[in-house]
Structure 1
Amino acid sequence: MKVRIRKWNAVASWRWDVPEDDVCGICRVQFDGTCPNCRFPGDDCPLLVGKCGHSFHLHCVNDWIQTESSRGLCPMCRQKFEFVAE
């Protein structure tokens, strides 16, 4: 018996390489999903990892830092938020 493949559909998946958390600390949406401001995952909203080790969507942390009450601190641990350049 011979089998001939006439059509083949490939399926792929991806995940952010984040070791600890799998959700944004601000919007609580999974990193392989989209932040509230984006339509497609990963397109215009990369992840930012702070020196403290917490990860956030770019849009979420930008909105957070611009609020007066944030005072430039990480929303999770309240240390000064500085992101790690990779």
Structure 2
Amino acid sequence: MKVVINRWHAIAQWQWDTGRTDEHGDTEEDVCGICRVPFEGCCPTCKMPGDDCPLIWGECSHVFHMHCLLKWIGTPASKQQCPMDRRPWVTAERKVSGS
């Protein structure tokens, strides 16, 4: 039996691995706590999601678009604190799965 593929239409979707899952083990869709845009989207500063608009994790386990957090930390009102829990902001080291 010989199979010939005449056409192929691939569809793909990507998403950030925030390390959060729901009760069924599926990745939990989440939004940036500052701009309220989903992590798969981009911050209001960027035009395209992806590596040019990365996520940043704090030791407090909160996740934000990097540009949103940098803008927040740059304001005097932030007092260099996490916008969610007001702990001093410390960037967490993230380990890539499989390395």
Q: TM-score, normalised by structure 1?
A: 0.89
The aligned residue for residue 12 of structure 1 is 12
Q: TM-score, normalised by structure 2?
A: 0.78
TM-superposed deviation, 1:4? 4.2
**C-alpha offsets along residues 12-63 of structure 1, whole Å, 9 cap, x if unaligned?**
1011111166100000000001110111111311100100010000100000
**Identity percentage of aligned residues:** 53
The aligned residue for residue 49 of structure 1 is 57
Which consecutive aligned stretches of 4+ in structure 1 deviate over 2 angstroms post-superposition? Answer: 2-5
Q: Which amino acid aligns with 1:45?
A: C
TM-superposed deviation, 1:71? 0.6
Distance across 2 between alignment mates of 1:7 and 1:74: 50
TM-superposed deviation, 1:9? 1.6
Distance across 1 between alignment mates of 2:65 and 2:52: 10
The structure whose RCO (Cα within 8 Å, separation 6+) is larger is 1
The SS at the match of 1:29 is coil
- What are structure 2's unaligned runs of at least 5 residues? 21-27, 95-99
